[in-house]
Amino acid sequence: MASLWRKYILWFAQEHVDFRISEFESIVKMFGLQFRRLTEQTLKPFWVVEFPNVETAMLYASRSVALRAMFELYAHSRKLPEFHERLRAHVDANRNELAKYFRQDTSFKITVETYNKHFSQREKIEKIETMDYLPIEGPVNLKSPQVEWWYIEFWGLDPTAVPEEPDDILFGRLLATGQRNLIKELSLKQRKFIGNTSMDAQLSLLMANQAMVREGDLVFDPFVGTGSLLVSAAKWGGYVLGADIDYMMVHARCRPSRITQKVREKDESIRANLLQYGCADRYMDVVVADFSNPLWHPRISFDSIITDPPYGIREATEKVETKRSPKDIARTDDMVHYPSTSHYSLQNLYGDLLEFAARHLKLGGRLVCWLPFHREDYDPKMLPQHQYLQLVANSEQPLTGNTSRRLLTYEKCSEYSALNPASIGSTQVPTPSEDFRERYFNNALESRKERRMRKAEQREQGRLEMELRGKLPSDGRSQKCELNKARFTGLT
Ligand SMILES: C[S@@+](CC[C@H](N)C(=O)[O-])C[C@H]1O[C@@H](n2cnc3c(N)ncnc32)[C@H](O)[C@@H]1O
């Protein structure tokens, strides 16, 4: 590939913004792409990036789910007069190369995109007219133009503090769109087999990108559920394998989660999902297995492990009791063993997960998993660590109230050695997240209590104000107020 460093505009969707930079870094690492990122503020939806050639740029766009579209940059400035000067200069300097886009037989369209400030259609046309120096000779075609140019104005991120002048003015030729069409294609709404905790298509695709799933990789999800993460991994060319403790889930016999559905259809399965998306040939198998009692041969190794372990909110965190676990005081070796389940603390679960990944990932392979948090408790020191795994990305997705979850990406950085005494007990889960479930529900109760107190306080305030204005509440109301007052003082 000839090296001809050029500037490109990357236009990102303003959704899951915290995942953007990690996805970018994963894709460039996966394909070994060279780049220079000229935009420092990664929260901006428009970045200017240099790639050594157009093939490199296209490779990046062929995998990004965060990317809306990519343009070849013609001009960029913060000031309008300078922007026009630069656009003119670019067109003059590249006259021969750009001539094919301006030809009489080449239809075109110019789109005006503004961020954080609304402009009417008339105003947008006026903006286009300011570029009448462009030597365009072809006809306008708004439906299917042969060449598409975009004029972009970025008016900051804060809708309450829109600046006087745009922060960025950009112009470029559309080169490619990102892979956001897959979000619709793999949407849970039309998927054959889904459950309460199925991961949505966008996050599943982002996870598979974090895991750098490549054509022919072997990918494993130990908490597979309905197999959403297998779908995205298979879509990127991975051969997929899953396990789950829940027999009914693995066999798609669990209660349907769609309101309109009373019973599961006979042909619902994880395999049927892959078939639906044209990647049934990537399906290896799914097995019923308890992750706390690993069944995998020590020699099996995966290119990546992508998983969403249970947090105990919508599904139980449980494991199967074994004869060797604490309950065996009541049993003897010769007794028949009927497995029962017991609580699988999040701390033990993540400990096991990192240890499993350290043993079974190929060198350089990735573990991508979610970890739930109470936002006020979060401290990076709390993240699980393992001496053979390096944390390479950590993105937050806010959930309800003050809870959130973090998508953690670990990369196996050295070969696991069972003979190395230092590797024994090398997983550290410093602060237990095990009380997540308890805190989740208790917090909900606490906030209800707080809300009751706030309301009572407001009512009391209102009553005092009425009294001050000489408007005493009617008998019935004053009785109620008295009651509330008593309740309120009782609570404090
Ligand atoms: C959050 S769900 C995974 C959802 C899945 N990503 C999907 O898209 O459907 C967690 C899954 O872990 C399973 N699970 C819970 N404890 C387990 C254990 N000890 N071993 C294996 N799977 C377990 C649950 O049955 C549940 O299906």
User: What pLDDT was estimated at residue 473?
Assistant: 58
User: What pLDDT was estimated at residue 323?
Assistant: 57
Task: Report the share of the chain in percent with pLDDT over 70.
Answer: 83
CB 198 within 8 A of CB 283: no
- Of the candidates 153, 197, 169, 176, the one whose C-alpha atom is nearest the C-alpha of residue 72 is 176
The number of the ligand 1 atom at minimal distance from the alpha carbon of 195 is: 9
* Strands 389-398 vs 403-412: parallel, antiparallel or unpaired: antiparallel
Q: For a ligand 1 pocket test, name from 244, 290, 343, 368 the mutation site with the most ligand atoms within 8 angstroms of its C-beta.
A: 244
Separation of CA 346 and ligand 1 centre (Å):
13
Q: What is the tens place of the pLDDT at every residue in 38-76?
A: 999 999 999 999 999 999 999 999 999 999 999 999 999
User: What pLDDT was estimated at residue 264?
Assistant: 93
The number of the ligand 1 atom at minimal distance from the alpha carbon of 199 is: 8
d(CA 324, CA 346): 20
- Given a cut of 80, whether residue 31 has pLDDT beyond it is yes
User: What pLDDT was estimated at residue 213?
Assistant: 98
Going by CA atoms, what residue is nearest to atom 5 of ligand 1?
Answer: 225
219 band by pLDDT with thresholds 50, 70 and 90: very high
User: What pLDDT was estimated at residue 209?
Assistant: 98
Phi, psi values for residue 327, rounded to 5°: -70, -5
Going by CA atoms, what residue is nearest to atom 10 of ligand 1?
Answer: 310
Q: For a ligand 1 pocket test, name from 223, 291, 313 the mutation site with the most ligand atoms within 8 angstroms of its C-beta.
A: 223
CB 257 within 8 A of CB 276: no
Residue 363 CB partners (closer than 8 Å, separation 6+): 412, 413, 414, 415
Separation of CA 315 and ligand 1 centre (Å):
7
Going by CA atoms, what residue is nearest to atom 13 of ligand 1?
Answer: 223
Query: Hey, what amino acid is at 328?
Result: D
The number of the ligand 1 atom at minimal distance from the alpha carbon of 349 is: 19
Going by CA atoms, what residue is nearest to atom 12 of ligand 1?
Answer: 223
Q: Where in the chain is the domain with CATH 3.30.2130.30?
A: 6-179
- Given a cut of 60, whether residue 19 has pLDDT beyond it is yes
Over range 313-321, report the average pLDDT.
Answer: 67
Separation of CA 457 and ligand 1 centre (Å):
44
Q: What is the tens place of the pLDDT at every residue in 135-193?
A: 999 999 999 999 999 999 999 999 999 999 999 999 999 999 999 999 999 999 999 99
User: What pLDDT was estimated at residue 246?
Assistant: 95
Query: What is the torsion angle, in degrees rounded to the nearest 10, for the CA atoms of residue 361, residue 362, residue 366 and residue 369?
Result: -10
d(CA 94, CA 99): 8
Where does residue 260 rank: exposed (0-12), middle (13-18), buried (19+ CB within 10 A)? Answer: exposed
Q: What is the tens place of the pLDDT at every residue in 78-96?
A: 999 999 999 999 999 999 9
- Given a cut of 80, whether residue 471 has pLDDT beyond it is no
Neighbours of 288 (CB within 10 A): 13
Reduced to 3 states (helix: H, G, I; strand: E, B; else coil), residue 374 is strand
Going by CA atoms, what residue is nearest to atom 1 of ligand 1?
Answer: 310
- What is the edge-to-edge ordering of all strands in the sheet holding 6-12? 36-37, 46-51, 6-12, 67-77, 168-177, 147-154, 108-115
Separation of CA 225 and ligand 1 centre (Å):
5
294 band by pLDDT with thresholds 50, 70 and 90: confident
The number of the ligand 1 atom at minimal distance from the alpha carbon of 224 is: 5
Which CATH number, 3.40.50.150, 1.10.760.10, 3.40.50.720, 3.30.70.141, labels domain 183-434? 3.40.50.150
Q: Where in the chain is the domain with CATH 3.40.50.150?
A: 183-434
Residue 473 CB partners (closer than 8 Å, separation 6+): 463, 466, 481
Q: What is the tens place of the pLDDT at every residue in 354-401?
A: 999 999 999 999 999 999 988 888 999 989 999 999 999 999 999 987
Separation of CA 445 and ligand 1 centre (Å):
26
d(CA 426, CA 242): 25
Determine which of 202-211, 224-233, 253-262 has the lowest per-residue pLDDT on average: 253-262
For 331, half-sphere exposure in the C-beta direction (CA atoms, 13 angstrom radius) is 16
What CATH topology corresponds to 6-179?
VC0802-like (3.30.2130)
Determine which of 71-75, 133-137, 230-234, 479-483 has the lowest per-residue pLDDT on average: 479-483
Determine which of 133-147, 307-321, 428-442, 458-472 has the lowest per-residue pLDDT on average: 428-442
Over range 230-251, report the average pLDDT.
Answer: 97
Going by CA atoms, what residue is nearest to atom 7 of ligand 1?
Answer: 198
Over range 335-343, report the average pLDDT.
Answer: 65
- Site residues for ligand 1, CB cut-off 6 Å: 195, 197-199, 223, 225-226, 228-229, 243-246, 249, 290-292, 308, 310, 315, 317-319, 344
d(CA 432, CA 47): 38
d(CA 162, CA 198): 39
The number of the ligand 1 atom at minimal distance from the alpha carbon of 318 is: 16
Separation of CA 416 and ligand 1 centre (Å):
26
Going by CA atoms, what residue is nearest to atom 15 of ligand 1?
Answer: 317
The number of the ligand 1 atom at minimal distance from the alpha carbon of 194 is: 9
Q: For a ligand 1 pocket test, name from 245, 286, 292 the mutation site with the most ligand atoms within 8 angstroms of its C-beta.
A: 245
Residues recorded for the chain: 492
- Average model confidence (pLDDT) for the chain? 89
Q: For a ligand 1 pocket test, name from 188, 192, 197, 293 the mutation site with the most ligand atoms within 8 angstroms of its C-beta.
A: 197
Separation of CA 239 and ligand 1 centre (Å):
20
Identify which has the larger pLDDT, 335 or 219: 219
